[in-house]
Structure 1
Amino acid sequence: MRITRILPLAALFALPACGDPGTELASTSTFRVTVVGVNGGSPPLAEAPLPANRGDVDETWDFEIDARSPYGQPVPFEGMVRVSVEPGTVVALEGDGAIGRNILVSGGKAKGQARVTAVYGPARLWVEDLGYVPVPISTTPACSNGRDDDDDVLIDFPADPGCAFADDDDESSGSFSAGISPPVHYELPRIGDVQGEGSQTPYPYEAVEINASRPKPLVVTRVASDGFYVTDLTDQDKGHNHIFAFNFSTPPGMRVCDRVTFLSGTISEFFGFTELSFPSYRLEYPGEKDTCEVPEPAVLTDAMIGNPNEMEKLESGLVRIEGFVVAKKFGPKPVVNNIPDAEHSNCDLNGDGQVDFENAIEGSCANVCSGDPECTEWTSFSARGNYKVYNPSTLVQIQVQTGTAASFDPTAWKGKLLKSVTGTLRNFSGGSLNWTIETRCPDDLVCDGNPACVSSKIPSSKACVRLRTIGDNDQETN
């Protein structure tokens, strides 16, 4: 098959001037791409978008392709073009000459149907000429035959840039002519869509704008040293409506209760914890007479703590435990004979600063402590500030991090009751205890007889609502 490509730059200068009567440009410059149907019906309108697709179902887009010259004239392009969707994924194509995510354009035209998934917002179909000529598996393609077929000193895929893929039968580059369709209208993903109602986000490593135009707002529930936490108040009954925005530092000009009217960033999984990295955001400051809309924390029951699905619904959200005791076996000295006690819960037995699970003795020590609700392994606490608390009636255990209540010393409170601990829920996929409650400020820690705690629970409309953060005054000297 001979493929008509865009002409080299030198050849373009040799073309007749655009004012010459009767001249036509036959080279392909672009493709006119039109999505003519979606899921068997008309494409959705901007005022009635389809729900964001989470990547769990396929949708069908019927499309037409027309090759055009630089002047918009139809041209008889012959060749395969690559079809993609942005944002989203093309699963497969159907139509005459369709192979995988490629389709044959013959006489400058093609029609087909794309199965797409994980599409959201104003999504568009993208078509590009990569010079790709796929061949059947039984045939040895030019890009995998061990020869320099186009005499450019480069041999086969991936060394030869003219080889789009290993099964490409043409070592020459395509014209890279491209075309993009008008938008197909979907809603922007909600926080619940980004969380995916499971352990993994459906939009990994994608730059996503969160849907902030909801009946109820997005509200800041915590301002942390490395970012901030947001809850979508519209989806409180569904769960999965909280997310952490990793900002690398305390975001300036923000405080608990602020509303977020714009939020975007790159979605990633940090050891099982869904994050919005490199966030861009816009805040709306509530007035003095406005009610703070931070929701009351979800109280974790023993059954919820033991159910990963229930905990996933609350990831990054405000939660609370009540009536838990700080681990009794909690001290800096090395464990003796694999029996931790109040002063000996350190499983770093060789003193190198870490617990090595390939070391049978240290690994056994850590496993014993991990399985004991009354034991907190000291190295974990000294490295990250996490320590274990447990329900004295049922021995259900969970980790907490109370570093924001700076004057509270958990080692001095070991074996004693915490009336309640409130904070944001964080997931970490390593180890046996994956969930940690991180307090936001001293207001989140309630106990009797300790000046580092508050004596009773404080409503969410007031807890940890502090002065607005400011920028770094020493930035110029950093």
Structure 2
Amino acid sequence: ADPGCAFADDETEEGGTFSAGASKPVAYALPRVVDVQGGGSATPYAFEGIQIDTAAPQEVVVTRVASDGFYVTDLSGQDGGYNHLFAYNFNTPANMRVCDRLQYLAGTVNEFFGFTELSFPSYEIAPFHEGEPCPVPEPAVLDARTIADASAMERLESGLVRVEGVHISKNFGPNPAKKSTSDPSKYAFTPEESSCDLNGDGQVDFESRAEGACARQCSANPECSEWTSYSARGNYKVTDGSSMIQIQTGTVSAFDPTSHRGRALEAVTGTLRNFSGGSLNWTIEARCPDDLVCEAPGCAPAAKPSTEACVRLRSLNDNDAETN
């Protein structure tokens, strides 16, 4: 035999057997919505393209159709939480309605300032039709203890929630806040003066000692809603006198929160969004006028059940695509 005939350690002229080893098939499961959320503040699938398990016993239901995407809840995970997800579609998804079920859902998972998103989603809709039961669950009612508990709020991220018996913060106006005459280290907020954009450049610079201190003091005050948060993103603060949370009611076009500062809101329902900047991280975003209950123009007179609120049935001539 020639030393090193085929390889350096091949000392024989004999032919190979061409045998190969093989393992048993390895079965794996697609991640559920609760797996994508990860049971904590961040997803374990960041920047990964995945397909989400939508087959039984999972039941993935559309709870909100927004201008930039849609929100879903997996009804099979209601007891443990972390069963809600936002899909960032860049625009309103075609022919999707609240109460629809998803037969297929895939995309790339991202964390956007602490908010778990499914970007560039692909989906297939099982449409909801008139006469069928709408499977959207009732919103979770947030109390002071829940709002103060970061883990409890994470369980509800992107889910349908509600606050009751709150009022809009009394100090909510466009003019810059002024320093207190009795204590120059503090700011005195008034109904017309709650802006911490002290130099008029349109934003709050948290690196600035003055603007940062103003913003922190306003955030800590239940009766102060910092103006630039509203002028830039439409967010404003509501409180029951002790606990507080931000809401966004831009979908209720006839309601002007600035003219109703200090006034009561019987109930505010919407999807729960997280933003990691600042101390007020959570915002309830109303889906439609049904979600805002108060006596002011544009509000609903009473809260509707989830089987009716923001439900818009299809018409016979709807011809939008049902997949993406």
TM-score normalised according to structure 2 size: 0.88
Q: Does 1:248 align with 2:97?
A: no
Q: Does 1:282 align with 2:128?
A: no
Q: Does 1:34 align with 2:59?
A: no
Matches within 5 A, 1:202-351: 202-337=44-179, 338-351=187-200
Larger Cα-atom Rg: 1
Supply the AA of the counterpart residue of 2:305. Answer: P
Report SS of the residue matched to 2:23.
Answer: strand
Q: CA deviation at 1:289?
A: 1.8
Separation of aligned partners in 2, 1:32 and 1:345: 74
Separation of aligned partners in 1, 2:270 and 2:150: 18
Report SS of the residue matched to 1:370.
Answer: helix
Q: CA deviation at 1:220?
A: 0.4
Given the superposition, is the C-alpha separation of residues 398 and 33 from structure 1 closer, same or farther in structure 2, using an over 3 Å criterion?
Answer: farther
Separation of aligned partners in 2, 1:33 and 1:456: 68
Supply the AA of the counterpart residue of 1:325. Answer: H
Separation of aligned partners in 2, 1:368 and 1:398: 15
Q: CA deviation at 1:314?
A: 0.5
Q: CA deviation at 1:33?
A: 6.5
Given the superposition, is the C-alpha separation of residues 466 and 32 from structure 1 closer, same or farther in structure 2, using an over 3 Å criterion?
Answer: farther
One of 442, 445, 448 as aligned partner of 2:292: 445
Q: CA deviation at 1:358?
A: 2.1
Q: Does 1:413 align with 2:255?
A: no
Note if contact 2:97-2:128 (Cα within 8 Å) is conserved in structure 1: no
Supply the AA of the counterpart residue of 1:424. Answer: T
Q: CA offsets per residue over residues 108-160 of structure 1, 9 Å max, x none?
A: xxxxxxxxxxxxxxxxxxxxxxxxxxxxxxxxxxxxxxxxxxxxxxxxxxxxx
Note if contact 2:129-2:313 (Cα within 8 Å) is conserved in structure 1: no
- Give the aligned partner of residue 127 of structure 1: none
Separation of aligned partners in 2, 1:220 and 1:360: 44
Matches within 5 A, 1:189-208: 189-208=31-50
- Give the aligned partner of residue 230 of structure 2: 381
Q: CA deviation at 1:308?
A: 0.7
Separation of aligned partners in 1, 2:255 and 2:173: 16
- Give the aligned partner of residue 455 of structure 1: 301
Note if contact 2:82-2:155 (Cα within 8 Å) is conserved in structure 1: yes
Separation of aligned partners in 2, 1:32 and 1:224: 54
Report SS of the residue matched to 2:223.
Answer: coil
Report SS of the residue matched to 2:301.
Answer: coil
- Give the aligned partner of residue 398 of structure 1: 245
Supply the AA of the counterpart residue of 2:204. Answer: V
Q: CA offsets per residue over residues 440-461 of structure 1, 9 Å max, x none?
A: 000000012x121011110101
- Give the aligned partner of residue 139 of structure 1: none
Supply the AA of the counterpart residue of 2:298. Answer: A
Q: CA deviation at 1:280?
A: 0.5
Q: CA deviation at 1:436?
A: 0.5
Q: CA deviation at 1:287?
A: 2.9
Separation of aligned partners in 1, 2:319 and 2:159: 24
Given the superposition, is the C-alpha separation of residues 288 and 343 from structure 1 closer, same or farther in structure 2, using an over 3 Å criterion?
Answer: same
Separation of aligned partners in 2, 1:362 and 1:291: 51
Given the superposition, is the C-alpha separation of residues 32 and 319 from structure 1 closer, same or farther in structure 2, using an over 3 Å criterion?
Answer: farther
Note if contact 1:252-1:470 (Cα within 8 Å) is conserved in structure 2: no
Q: CA deviation at 1:390?
A: 0.6
Note if contact 1:198-1:312 (Cα within 8 Å) is conserved in structure 2: yes
Q: CA offsets per residue over residues 43-79 of structure 1, 9 Å max, x none?
A: xxxxxxxxxxxxxxxxxxxxxxxxxxxxxxxxxxxxx
TM-score normalised according to structure 1 size: 0.60
Structure number with greater CO (CA < 8 Å, separation at least 6) is: 2
Separation of aligned partners in 2, 1:380 and 1:33: 62
Q: CA deviation at 1:366?
A: 1.0
Q: CA deviation at 1:25?
A: 9.7
- Structure 1: tracts of 5 or more residues without a match: 6-21, 37-182, 473-478
- Give the aligned partner of residue 372 of structure 1: 221
Supply the AA of the counterpart residue of 1:238. Answer: G
Given the superposition, is the C-alpha separation of residues 233 and 413 from structure 1 closer, same or farther in structure 2, using an over 3 Å criterion?
Answer: same
Supply the AA of the counterpart residue of 1:231. Answer: T
Separation of aligned partners in 2, 1:438 and 1:33: 56
Q: CA deviation at 1:24?
A: 7.3
Q: CA deviation at 1:467?
A: 4.5
Given the superposition, is the C-alpha separation of residues 24 and 405 from structure 1 closer, same or farther in structure 2, using an over 3 Å criterion?
Answer: farther
Separation of aligned partners in 1, 2:291 and 2:261: 18
Supply the AA of the counterpart residue of 1:421. Answer: V
Q: CA deviation at 1:203?
A: 1.0
RMSD: 2.3
Identity %: 58
One of 302, 307, 312 as aligned partner of 1:466: 312
Separation of aligned partners in 1, 2:93 and 2:132: 22
Farther-moved stretch of structure 1 (213-222 vs 292-301): 213-222
Given the superposition, is the C-alpha separation of residues 452 and 434 from structure 1 closer, same or farther in structure 2, using an over 3 Å criterion?
Answer: same
Supply the AA of the counterpart residue of 1:464. Answer: C
Separation of aligned partners in 2, 1:471 and 1:431: 40
